[in-house]
Every structure is written in C-alpha cells, then in structure tokens.
Amino acid sequence: MASSVATRAVRRAGEHEAVISGHLAAGESKLALNEAIRALQSECKWLRENRPADGVLTDAELAASLLAIASELYAYKPVRPVGCQRAPSPADLLAVFETRLASQGEGSHG
C-alpha cells in the first residue's frame, strides 16, 4: 500500500509541476507560486486526514519553515540564468524552476 500512496503522490506532484511550468512559460510567476502553495496545502490535508498525528506535527514544522523563509526574503537574491536580462523572460522563469527542481530531486534521491 505504501508504494501506491507514494506513486499517487508523485503523480500529483507531476500534475502540479506541469501546471506551474505552463504558468511560468506564460510569464505568470504569481500563478505559479500560488499553484505550488496549493500543492503543499493539498498534501498537508492528505497527511492530516490519513496520518493525523504526523499531519499536525508536519503542519507545525512547515509553518516554522515558511515563516523563516518569509522573514529572509527581503535580503534574498535569486540566481539568474546565463544571459538573463534585468527583467527575466518567461524562458528565464522556466529555466530557474527546472534547474531548482532538478537540484532538489538530486538531493532527495541521491
């Protein structure tokens, strides 16, 4: 059963990834961020419903992590792709998303 749960979670992540990529390809970074937040909220809801004790602890951990990220955004400097102009193009947004996604995938699987 655990593998089917994991398989469904990966499938859902892939669906969100496709939507986010579409938004970024259209230059809609705010919509892309909102979709990522919806994905997180959806997975947290699933966790709370299926593993209540772990779900509420995960909520508390994520709340702390997201608050820490928010408090540091004022000083954050994103990495710019090679050739990125002052105003990033939709292609630049998509490149940053895909590069970051790939590097996070390597860290969690390798």
Handedness of CA 94, 29, 76, 41 (dihedral sign): negative
Residue range 16-64, pLDDT digits in tens: 999 999 999 999 999 999 999 999 999 999 999 999 999 999 999 999 9
- pLDDT of res. 2: 64
Which run of H or of E encompasses 5? helix 2-25
90 and 79 in contact (C-beta within 8 Å)?
A: no
pLDDT tens-digit series, residues 83-95 = 887 889 999 999 9
String of DSSP letters for 33-65? HHHHHHHHHHHHHHHHHHSHHHHHHHHHHHHHH
Cα of first residue to Cα of last residue in the chain, in angstroms, is 24
